[in-house]
Amino acid sequence: MNHRLMYYIICLVMFIIGEACAGMNASALVMHCHECHGLLVDYRGNRVGYDAATKKVYQEIRYGRYTFENYNEDYPYYYIDVGNPDEGLYQFIIVSTYTQPYSVGIGAYDQLGNDVRTTIFGILSRGEEQRVEILYSPHTYDTTTIRKIMDAVILEKELKSALKHKMISGGQSGKKLRKFMSQAAKAIKQDKSEIAVANIQQFIEILEQDKVRLHKEGMQEPPFAMPDDFATDEQLAKRAEWIRYMEWKDKYISPVDILISDAKLVLENMQITK
């Protein structure tokens, strides 16, 4: 079954559960981790999830649990939920279990069920980590913020993983991406932000060009909507065509989109820290 389609189904289930908890006047934090482990750490250092350093599962945070699910035996994922979490800063550590793009759905609910939701995608080699900051508030007068920690060092690591495992095309395009990313990282170390920005912008431009080329050479989006029902042979055929397209897009377009998104996040963070 198409993983992205299944991912949306599981996210829907996850958020329905979160809504139910919130409906009982219980604030909550929930995370759904696909192709990765997760570890949530509160400001006291208490943990819930899998700690790669100790290779152990912890459930130290009050009302926190870490579980494994396998939806329809086709979509394994790890699930963290914390009922009535304390206000404050949380670190969420993503640990890749496979060398392929991962996805994490995060939902934060206040005392009345108002929610902040986001989905985080990334590219890591097996065992590598990505950090996310969650500044959580259970109060209706405040808003929880969720921020993926991204800088040039992490982006360069993502690029190397994507090229090494052929998630994106190599050749001349790959050489240019490596060059601009290396020059950007070097410029940042030397505090030459204008040079770094220019190189990251070139990096994004190459990826955008690759994306256009992939769409021209690869599959085209079906000229019809995904059927809501699968009762007839025609509807089943249309559904099958959409699934083939989404699988192609997951394999060839999604890694490029992740790198473009993260490169833009690096530029954004550079503007914030000026």
Give me the residue spans of the domains in the chain: 3-148, 152-272
pLDDT one-digit tens code per residue, 212-264: 999 999 988 999 999 888 888 899 999 999 999 999 999 999 999 999 999 99
Phi, psi of 213, rounded to the nearest 5 degrees: -60, -45
Residues 268, 270: Cα–Cα separation, whole Å: 5
Residue that is written with structure tokens 């909550």 in the block: 28
Residues 159, 179: Cα–Cα separation, whole Å: 11
Handedness of CA 175, 176, 182, 183 (dihedral sign): positive
Residue that is written with structure tokens 């950090």 in the block: 131
The two three-digit tokens of residue 243, written as one number: 């699934």
pLDDT at 8: 55
Asked if 36 and 106 count as a contact pair (C-beta separation under 8 A), the reply is: no
Which SS3 state, helix, strand or coil, does residue 103 take?
strand
Residues 231, 40: Cα–Cα separation, whole Å: 43
pLDDT at 112: 86
The two three-digit tokens of residue 70, written as one number: 């396998």
Residues 107, 115: Cα–Cα separation, whole Å: 7
Residues 190, 193: Cα–Cα separation, whole Å: 8
Q: Distance from CA of residue 237 to its chain's centroid?
A: 31
pLDDT one-digit tens code per residue, 93-118: 999 887 778 999 999 999 888 889 99
Q: What's the average model confidence in pLDDT over 120-132?
A: 91
Whole-model pTM?
0.82
pLDDT one-digit tens code per residue, 12-52: 555 555 555 544 556 999 999 988 999 999 999 999 999 98
| Percent of the chain residues past pLDDT 90, beyond the cut | 60
